[in-house]
């Protein structure tokens, strides 16, 4: 038996050649530990709870998973990422855009509060493949009918610990209740407070768990 190498290249994953070339271009040579632990599970279609400290590369982990399933020829919302703040939502949107294959023209929209509804509603009217936003604003769009989630196949709860800290549990519940039951749900968090188990019991189906740092 040989020792397992610690640095696993992205090429060991079932990713499209164009995606691998893109990762190369971005300078992502090998997977970070949370990517190596979570991507095979997410790409296999399982629900997932992934916990690893801030700065460990969680964004690319869920972004590559949702992009792998995206059918860019269909112009409807197939993936949604819920984030605690506008700043984090903007970062996630940028990372998804960088990881998306240029030739596919993947449209990612950021939907956060603190900006007028009208331009967001107009952008949604033109269509989007992926939406990234805060639970409150996403809920507003669902209530007004400007956002439809009937084609959604991937729901991501990013920075779930912070969303709970900020009191977003009920908003997350409302938004999740409007997502198709047949979907993949990926929960990413820097810490693992008690509320995470409650979230996952309610919104995830038989999730696999990857926890890189135990909290004592
Ligand atoms: P987290 O969400 O875990 O706090 P991020 O997803 O924001 O962390 O990633 C932190 C930084 O690491 C980002 O600048 C990102 O571009 C970079 N990064 C992510 N994955 C890799 C990789 N495989 N190789 C090199 N850099 C990476
Ligand atoms: Mg993050």
pLDDT of residue 7: 81
In percent, the amount of the chain with pLDDT more than 90 equals 92
Mean pLDDT for all residues in the chain? 94
Q: How far apart are CA 197 and CA 192, in angstroms?
A: 8
User: What are the beta bridge partners of residue 185?
Assistant: 155
Per-residue pLDDT reduced to its tens digit, 60-110: 999 999 999 999 999 999 999 999 999 999 999 999 999 997 778 999 999
| Residue 31 CB–ligand 1 contact under 6 Å | yes
Please name the residue whose Cα sits nearest to atom 1 of ligand 1.
55
| Residue 60 CB–ligand 1 contact under 6 Å | yes
Q: Is residue 8 part of a domain?
A: no
Please name the residue whose Cα sits nearest to atom 15 of ligand 1.
57
pLDDT of residue 3: 53
Q: Which of 69, 215, 213 is nearest to 153 (CA)?
A: 69
- Flag whether the pTM goes above 0.90: yes
Q: Is residue 194 part of a domain?
A: yes
Q: Is the pLDDT of residue 203 over 90?
A: yes
Q: Is residue 166 part of a domain?
A: yes
pLDDT of residue 5: 52
Ligand nearest to the CA of 159: 2
Q: Is residue 6 part of a domain?
A: no
Helix (H) or strand (E) holding 156: strand 154-157
Residue 42's domain comprises: 15-211
Q: Is the pLDDT of residue 158 over 90?
A: yes
Q: Is the pLDDT of residue 212 over 50?
A: yes
Q: Is residue 74 part of a domain?
A: yes
| CATH number for the domain that contains residue 99 | 3.40.50.300
| Residue 62 CB–ligand 1 contact under 6 Å | no
pLDDT of residue 216: 45
What is the maximum alpha-carbon separation in the chain?
A: 61
User: Phi first, then psi: what are they for 130, rounded to 5°?
Assistant: -140, 135
| Residue 99 CB–ligand 1 contact under 6 Å | no
Q: Is residue 7 part of a domain?
A: no
Q: pLDDT-derived band of residue 1, with 50, 70 and 90 as boundaries?
A: very low
| Residue 28 CB–ligand 1 contact under 6 Å | yes
Q: Is residue 4 part of a domain?
A: no
pLDDT of residue 104: 83
Q: Is residue 25 part of a domain?
A: yes
Both tokens assigned to 115: 């900006």
Q: Is the pLDDT of residue 215 over 90?
A: no
* Residue with the two structure tokens 């998804």: 96
Q: pLDDT-derived band of residue 40, with 50, 70 and 90 as boundaries?
A: very high
Indicate the number of domains in the chain: 1
* Residue with the two structure tokens 């294959």: 101
The residue count of the chain comes to: 216
Distance of CA 208 to the CA centre of its chain: 16
The answer to whether 128 and 108 have CB atoms below 8 angstroms apart is: yes
Q: Counting Cβ atoms within 10 Å, is residue 126 exposed (0-12), middle (13-18) or buried (19+)?
A: exposed
Q: Which of 208, 152, 158 is nearest to 181 (CA)?
A: 152
pLDDT of residue 101: 79
């Amino acid at each position: 038996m040989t020792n397992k190498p610690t640095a696993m290249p992205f090429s060991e994953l079932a990713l499209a050649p164009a995606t691998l070339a893109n990762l190369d271009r971005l300078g992502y040579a090998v997977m970070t530990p949370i990517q190596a632990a979570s991507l095979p599970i997410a790409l296999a279609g399982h629900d997932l709870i992934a916990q690893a400290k801030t700065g460990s590369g969680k964004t690319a982990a869920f972004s590559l998973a949702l992009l792998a399933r995206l059918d860019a020829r269909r112009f409807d919302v197939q993936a949604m990422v819920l984030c605690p703040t506008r700043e984090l939502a903007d970062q996630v949107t940028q990372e998804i855009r960088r990881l998306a294959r240029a030739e596919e023209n993947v449209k990612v929209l950021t939907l956060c509060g603190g900006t007028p509804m009208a331009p967001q509603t107009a952008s949604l009217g033109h269509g989007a493949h992926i939406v990234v936003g805060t639970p409150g604003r996403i809920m507003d769009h669902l209530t007004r009918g400007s956002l439809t989630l009937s084609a959604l196949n991937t729901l991501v709860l990013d920075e779930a610990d912070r969303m709970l800290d900020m009191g977003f549990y009920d908003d997350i519940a409302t938004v999740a209740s409007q997502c198709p039951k047949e979907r993949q749900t990926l929960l990413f968090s820097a810490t693992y407070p008690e509320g995470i188990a409650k979230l996952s019991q309610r919104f995830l189906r038989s999730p696999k768990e990857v926890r890189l740092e135990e909290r004592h």
